[in-house]
Amino acid sequence: MKSVALLGATGSIGLQTIDVLRREPEAFELVAVSGGEQLSELAAIAREFRVARIGVISDQHREVLRDLVARDVEIVVGDDGLTSLSRDADIIVNAVLGFAGLPVTLSALSAGKRLALANKESLIAAAPLVDAVRSTPGATLLPIDSEHCAIHQCLASSSAQAGYPDVRRLLLTASGGPFRGWSHDQLRRATKEDALNHPTWSMGAKITIDSSTLMNKGLEVLEASALFGVGVDRVDVVVHPQSIVHSMVEYVDGSVLAQLSRPDMRLPIAYCLGLPERLDHAWGELDFTRALELTFEPPDLDAFPALTLAYEAARLGGAAPAWLSAANEVAVAAFLADRIAWHEIVGVVARVMDGYLPDPLRTLEDLVENDALARHRAHGIVGL
């Protein structure tokens, strides 16, 4: 039996993790959870699994939750709370949204835990700091993000030397989002409803908007580079609208290995929980008795400039990826709050990146300052 701490339990990945855990009561014990605003949902999860500890974001949230759970449940608050929960179990699932997930990523790895990481923003912003704690004895970083989970599986046939010299490139697949094939004119009229209508995946609002701008894929290029230790010049993006091939690895002999399944995040979640074993649930089973069409095309870099911005941030290195991700969080929040139009989201990020002040990013304090500065600039642009 392995113990699990699930941070961000009330979100899209959090609830899908709950679904996996519910089916595997003999293999996993949920001991700690955290959430944001949805306190009654958080309390329901805590009661169902009889968790010992819960993390909330403020003292006010603690007061409300106190009346919803058993007296002997410990409630911890804020970043310190997340940090302590991230040292509390054999497996830490980081399903928190955005930069707020940073304490989970850093403390789980520095405590030598298995980190099942959905929260790509923390890894992208803090890549050099994550690298430093990843070598802690016992620490393992496994990606829940479906593309990176696919690559993790496809790399099993690599000799796995540092930098993967037998791999030519990693090929991240992208559905292309709801606006694939739209003209500039159509994109200028894109509504929130259009942008939230993802063709193949059901996800939280922020990542759904990121998928519509292709910023999600840009962030995933940075995520792949940080996870697997290969430069972004060896990470390419291929649009694959069916979301069946979750990503691919091209070896130096021209062989391309791919991982296929129906799009269902419970598969990568279960993979990260179960490794080295596979949990026996056919989350992603494909039906090959029916015709199945898989198509691939290059991304439209002109209509979706977010991808280019992400490659540029990678080449700048240092704190540039942290700026990109922070500015994007602010721009997406402004779009979701009806402050800016869809076609302005990436423009806000580009303007913030134009003012990037090179910083090598050596310490956590550097990172927090850079994140705050990028957010401040982005807030100035969106007027929030």
Instruction: State which residue, 146 or 370, has the beta carbon closest to Mg ion.
Output: 146
Which range, of 33-41, 150-158, 168-176, 286-294, touches ligand NDP by CB under 6 A? 33-41
Q: d(Cα 141, Cα 105) in Å, to the nearest integer? A: 9
- Partner in contact with 373, chosen from Mg ion, ligand NDP, none, beta carbon below 5 to 8 Å by kind: none
Q: Is 120 in the site for ligand NDP (CB under 6 A)?
A: yes
Q: Is 221 in the site for ligand NDP (CB under 6 A)?
A: no
Residue nearest to ligand NDP (CB): 11
**What tokens does 241 get?**
């609208």
Q: Which residue has the tokens 């290969």?
A: 230
Cα 164 from chain centre: 23
What is the contact mask toward ligand NDP in residues 50 to 69, using x (rule: CB under 6 A)?
Answer: -------x------------
In the complex, minimum distance from the CB of residue 357 to Mg ion, in angstroms, rounded to a whole number: 30
What is the contact mask toward ligand NDP in residues 237 to 276, using x (rule: CB under 6 A)?
Answer: ----------------------------x-----------
Q: d(Cα 26, Cα 327) in Å, to the nearest integer? A: 43
Amino acid at 365: E
Q: Is 204 in the site for ligand NDP (CB under 6 A)?
A: yes
Which range, of 43-51, 92-100, 131-139, 363-371, touches ligand NDP by CB under 6 A? 92-100
Burial class (CB in 10 A: 0-12, 13-18, 19+), 236: middle
Q: How many CB atoms lie within 10 A of CB 68?
A: 15
* DSSP 8-state secondary structure symbol assigned to residue 241: T
Which range, of 8-16, 93-101, 143-151, 183-191, touches Mg ion by CB under 5 A? 143-151
Q: What beta strand segments (E) does the chain contain?
A: 2-7, 28-34, 53-56, 74-77, 91-94, 114-117, 140-143, 167-174, 235-239, 245-251, 256-260
Q: Is 8 in the site for ligand NDP (CB under 6 A)?
A: yes
CA nearest 272: which of 144, 82, 96? 144
In the complex, minimum distance from the CB of residue 224 to Mg ion, in angstroms, rounded to a whole number: 10
- Partner in contact with 328, chosen from ligand NDP, Mg ion, none, beta carbon below 5 to 8 Å by kind: none
Q: Is 264 in the site for Mg ion (CB under 5 A)?
A: no
Contacting residue, 89, 95, 133, 322, with ligand NDP by CB under 6 A: 95
Q: d(Cα 22, Cα 1) in Å, to the nearest integer? A: 14
- Partner in contact with 118, chosen from ligand NDP, Mg ion, none, beta carbon below 5 to 8 Å by kind: ligand NDP
Contacting residue, 145, 210, 223, 329, with Mg ion by CB under 5 A: 145
Q: d(Cα 184, Cα 256) in Å, to the nearest integer? A: 34
Q: Is 36 in the site for ligand NDP (CB under 6 A)?
A: yes
Burial class (CB in 10 A: 0-12, 13-18, 19+), 338: exposed
Q: d(Cα 207, Cα 202) in Å, to the nearest integer? A: 10
- Partner in contact with 86, chosen from ligand NDP, Mg ion, none, beta carbon below 5 to 8 Å by kind: none
Q: d(Cα 34, Cα 200) in Å, to the nearest integer? A: 28
Q: Is 11 in the site for ligand NDP (CB under 6 A)?
A: yes
Give Dmax (Cα) for the chain.
61
In the complex, minimum distance from the CB of residue 203 to ligand NDP, in angstroms, rounded to a whole number: 3
In the complex, minimum distance from the CB of residue 33 to ligand NDP, in angstroms, rounded to a whole number: 9
Residue nearest to Mg ion (CB): 145
What residues line the site for Mg ion (CB under 5 A)? 145-147
Q: Give the footprint of ligand NDP on this chain (CB under 6 A).
A: 8-14, 35-38, 57, 95-97, 100, 118-121, 145, 201, 203-204, 206-207, 265
